Amino acid sequence: MLEIWIPVLITLFGLAVGSFLNVCIYRIPRTDVSIHSPRRSFCPECSNPISAYDNIPILSYLILRGKCRQCRATISVLYPLVELATAGLFLGMYYHFGLTLEFLLALAFIGLLLPIAVIDAQHYIIPNVLIATGLVLGFVIVCGIAYQRADVWYLLTRLIGTVAGGMVLWLVAVIGSAILRKKAMGGGDIKLMALNGLFLGAWPELAMVIAFSALSGAVVGTVLIISGVKSRQSPIPYGPFLAGAAVLVLLWGDRLWRMYLQFVGWN
Ligand SMILES: [Zn+2]
């Protein structure tokens, strides 16, 4: 009986977390507001506080038809999308990992990657507070998993991954900048890659993250330039691609790596 309710509870939990992530996404890059003040959510257009019944994930957006009750300003579709993505990814992680510490690690990772990706796409920054939170949270849960498995090597690979992730992307940034003769990557991307190393491990996970993010970044960048959305000179944030690749590796890294080894004839 309980088994039916677990996915429902995780979905509701994901929607609630997604709603909180929306607050983070709006407030962290802005200096005039903080996470806890003002306490109530407000309409960015008319600054009126949003009442609790208008602040239910997804549902309120549908009932209000995407408009503020007070000033009728359009509410960004990003809000329900972030809530849906959080709930969907949480549920996906549950079916993948079950109720384990690895599941907890995945939830923390998703809760950080989503705001990092959206804030980088909107503001071209990856806030240090998210990286720092991730490093602390990730380290604690990784220690817990290593303890549970009685496996020091697990902890060690994650620490190696943290250092290697930062160093490898720093090298890519230096070489890329030299070849392209412009800044190829920001400091935020380097820190995000260190976070990826902590949550995913070093080899082959980090290599896959670099391959998938570079590939998807190149495809999307080309499409944006051809369609005229971006010019050749305008910067395209790399954070969303690093985050997307990290989720892919988190869920299917093992399988994709085995497929690759088979493909090149190593196995
Ligand atoms: Zn309003």
Measured distance CA(27)–CA(130) in Å, rounded? 12
Distance (Å) from CA 48 to ligand 1 centroid: 6
More confident residue, 2 or 255: 255
Q: What is the pLDDT of residue 234?
A: 78
Backbone angles phi, psi at 49, to 5 degrees: -65, 145
Residue in the structure block whose two tokens are 């697990």: 154
pLDDT tops 90 at residue 100? yes
pLDDT tops 80 at residue 233? no
From the list 34, 37, 82, 45, the residue with the least C-alpha distance to 61 is 82
Q: What is the pLDDT of residue 267?
A: 59
Distance (Å) from CA 125 to ligand 1 centroid: 27
124-147: average pLDDT:
97
192-213: average pLDDT:
96
pLDDT tops 80 at residue 182? no
Distance (Å) from CA 50 to ligand 1 centroid: 9
Least confident of 123-132, 168-177, 197-206: 168-177
- The burial class, CB within 10 Å (0-12 / 13-18 / 19+), for 162 is buried
Distance (Å) from CA 151 to ligand 1 centroid: 53
Distance (Å) from CA 12 to ligand 1 centroid: 26
Domains in the chain: boundaries: 1-99, 100-267
14-38: average pLDDT:
93
Distance (Å) from CA 67 to ligand 1 centroid: 8
Distance (Å) from CA 72 to ligand 1 centroid: 6
Q: What is the pLDDT of residue 201?
A: 95
Measured distance CA(242)–CA(200) in Å, rounded? 12
